[in-house]
Amino acid sequence: MLATRRRVRSDLTGGGPEAAKIRWHTLAIGAAYAAADSGPEGLTSEEAARRLRAGGPDVLERTSTDGPFQILWRQANNPLIWVLLAASVLAIALGKMTDGLVVLAVVVGAVILPVVSLEKRLRRARRPGRD
């Protein structure tokens, strides 16, 4: 997916680069309110509209994500996986069909299960209205 949103606002106040440098998580509540020019009751409709005009909407950029085959390749491109695949092929070539197939099944499981689990978590994270 390509980035489809306009831009990311880097601050709460629309105050430009200096506001982006504030370490908001280190401020006391009162200091954060003062720095954001706000209060516990929030912004008035007029102030919110002014900030929206000045800074634009507060949106996150959509970044491109890896497809399932890229994730699968990253999972499989591991020296241990290659050694186990070679051991499986060697066992089958030497007539140890059961041993080779068991090792191959373990490799396939070790590669596919994390990918399936990751895809499931990503789908759940993208679901709107999640807790």
The pair of structure tokens assigned to 6 is: 């306009």
Residues 39, 81: one domain?
no
Pair 47, 93 in one domain? no
Claim: this prediction has a pTM higher than 0.85: no
Q: Do 28 and 78 have their domain in common? A: no
pLDDT in 10s for each residue of the chain, 131 residues: 333 333 434 344 445 556 667 888 888 998 888 888 888 888 888 988 998 898 888 777 777 677 778 888 888 899 999 999 999 999 999 999 999 999 999 999 998 888 888 777 777 777 665 54
Rounded distance, CA 55 to CA 67, Å?
Answer: 33
Owning domain of residue 85: 68-126
Look at residues 75, 84, 77 and name the one whose alpha carbon lies nearest to residue 111.
Answer: 75
Per-residue DSSP letter, 129: T
